[in-house]
Amino acid sequence: MSASGKRLAGIAVVAAIVCVAIALYIALYLTNVPGSASAVETSSGTNLYLATVASAATNDPHPTWVSYYAVDANDQNWRHATTYVLPANTLVHVTIFQFDSQTGLRNPFIGQATGTVGGTFTLNGKTMEAIDPDTASHVFAIPAIGLSVPLYGISSTAKNPCSNAPCPLSNDHSTITFTFRTPAKGLYRWQCFVPCAAGFIQGFGGPMQTVGYMDGFIKVV
């Protein structure tokens, strides 16, 4: 083997290693896609069942983080999903099971619901248009369409709080329902406005800034 042949071989090996490293580097980003869930089409309309928990599942990469889950209404299957696929220009009935305790809002204004049909929501069956901002645990908000619904937190003295997802409905929780009209096709982000990221400054780090926990998309198709 000639000297330049050896060099060629050496360079080829190095190049291969570099390419693998680059592929790995890119893959680390691409693999990290939060799960998605579709709304359930029933005869009564389009339904979306969500849940908010104080801690994600124990096998999650961040088991101490608060998170949204999608819940299958029938068999109570829980999926860690924050991308929700909804049909365009349709009324969607959202039901959220809220298992987390109260934190309070940084901006009390968000204690009032906006953007729902009628400007109201139901909390444990009672129709309301605002809650005491200090009792909020989370918020489901899609700012681009003006939707914002505060989620009432369970009492700090609750007897049977849920520690980690998945949480059966036998745990203490509040149930929030509301209806909103989906916009035209596209990708819209949703987020929470309660400073619920425990341990982060202003409560807005970690799960609040990571798509897949307290942030996600609605994908309107």
CA-derived radius of gyration, the chain:
22
CB of 128 to other proteins, least distance (A): 9
CB of 75 to other proteins, least distance (A): 29
Nearer to other proteins, 62 or 181 (CB): 62
Instruction: Give the integer Cα–Cα distance in Å for 33 and 111.
Output: 31
Nearer to other proteins, 161 or 205 (CB): 205
Contacts to other proteins by CB under 8 A: 4, 7-8, 11, 22, 25-26, 28-30, 32-34, 62-65, 103-104, 106-112, 114, 119, 129-130, 132-133, 141, 143-144, 146, 148, 186-187, 189, 191, 193, 195, 197-206, 208-211, 215
Nearer to other proteins, 182 or 210 (CB): 210
CB of 31 to other proteins, least distance (A): 10
CB of 5 to other proteins, least distance (A): 10
3-state secondary structure 59-128: CCCCCCCCEEEEECCCCCCEECEEEEEECCCCEEEEEEEECCECCCCCCHHHHECECCHHHCEEECCEEE
CA 207 distance to own-chain centroid: 9
Nearer to other proteins, 46 or 137 (CB): 137
Instruction: Give the integer Cα–Cα distance in Å for 126 and 156.
Output: 21
Nearer to other proteins, 34 or 87 (CB): 34
The neighbour count for residue 108, using CB atoms within 10 Å, is 13
- DSSP-assigned states of every residue in 152-215: EPBPTT-SS---SSS--TTSS-EEEEEEEE--SSEEEEEE--S---TTSGGG-SGGGGSBTTTE
Nearer to other proteins, 71 or 103 (CB): 103
The vertex-96 CA angle with 151 and 180, nearest 5°, equals: 90
3-state secondary structure (DSSP) of residue 1: coil
CB of 16 to other proteins, least distance (A): 13
CB of 161 to other proteins, least distance (A): 13
3-state secondary structure (DSSP) of residue 2: coil
